[in-house]
Amino acid sequence: MATDALMATRDNLADVIDAKAMMCVHGDAGVGKTFSVNASLRELAPDTVCRVQFRARPTPRDIRYTLFDALAVGGTPPPKPIEFDRLLKAVLSEHFRVLVCDEAQWMSQECFEYWRHLWDDRRTDIAIVFVGGGDCYQVLSREPMLSSRVYVWQEFRRMTPAQVLRVIPAFHTVWENTDPEIIGFADTHAGHGNFRSWAKLTAHTVRALARLDRDRVDQEVLGWVFAKMSGRSS
């Protein structure tokens, strides 16, 4: 979807790649951060992206081993941190890479400092993109040594009602000819300007139309959908 946020992300990433810099993309869950970053990088740097992701609070040791696997270094990881770092820096100096750290809100100040350590090394040839929630922004912004190295900050927010009416009809054919008032009603009760919520809402709506043998979305169809999404009768 060519939303304003996606187009801004593409422009920002182009600048970050050109400068071989750091970027922080932050915002609430489900607003399209990861999708926009991945879609933009497929266009801008398809062969240079290395993605890492953490589901729990990592340590610098976790980052080392995750990078070792993501970079397909091969062999046995060095036993000592100094040797490990030397190896990673050597690999990251071979050619330019964009390192994308998703779910960056899980990282501590110590972890962010480790990323800075890799980026600061004169031999490494990298840009770093942090994608995460509010904690990611808070940790980065309150540390001058970290925040001063972030070249671009981009906050993702929920779509406004006007953006929903512009974007959602192009998002899926089920909404293409739907009354704007119905789309607004769906957004108020279930979409909430959130792309992830709208994706789930759309999937349920497609099923509802088939189940109810309807060809257009109306409030009755949405009532069936809302019950599915909330687990409560409308």
Query: What is the rounded distance in angstroms from the CA atom of residue 208 to the CA atom of residue 223?
Result: 10
Query: What is the rounded distance in angstroms from the CA atom of residue 101 to the CA atom of residue 129?
Result: 6
pLDDT value, residue 109 = 87
The pTM is what? 0.85
Number of domains, the chain: 2
One domain, residues 82 and 37: yes
User: Which residues form the domain of 138?
Assistant: 4-156
Beta strands in 31-146 (DSSP E): 49-53, 97-102, 126-132
Q: Is residue 35 part of a domain?
A: yes
One domain, residues 27 and 139: yes
What is the DSSP pairing of strand 97-102 with strand 22-27? unpaired
One domain, residues 8 and 94: yes
One domain, residues 133 and 48: yes
How distant, in Å, are the alpha carbons of 10, 18, 61, 173 from that of 23? 12, 12, 23, 34
pLDDT value, residue 145 = 83
One domain, residues 79 and 188: no
pLDDT value, residue 2 = 66
One domain, residues 121 and 174: no
Q: Which residue has the tokens 């270094």?
A: 73
pLDDT value, residue 180 = 96
One domain, residues 52 and 84: yes
The two tokens of residue 155 are 């906050």
Contacts of residue 56, defined as CB under 8 A and 6 or more positions apart, other chains included, come to: 106
Beta bridge partners of 23: 129, 152
Give SS3 for 155. Answer: strand
pLDDT value, residue 133 = 86
DSSP string for residues in 116-130? HHHHHSTT--EEEEE
Work out the mean pLDDT of the chain and round it to a whole number: 92
Low-confidence ranges of the chain (pLDDT < 70): 1-2, 231-234
One domain, residues 167 and 151: no
pLDDT value, residue 234 = 45
What percent of the chain clears pLDDT 90, i.e. is strictly above it? 78
pLDDT value, residue 228 = 87
One domain, residues 10 and 34: yes
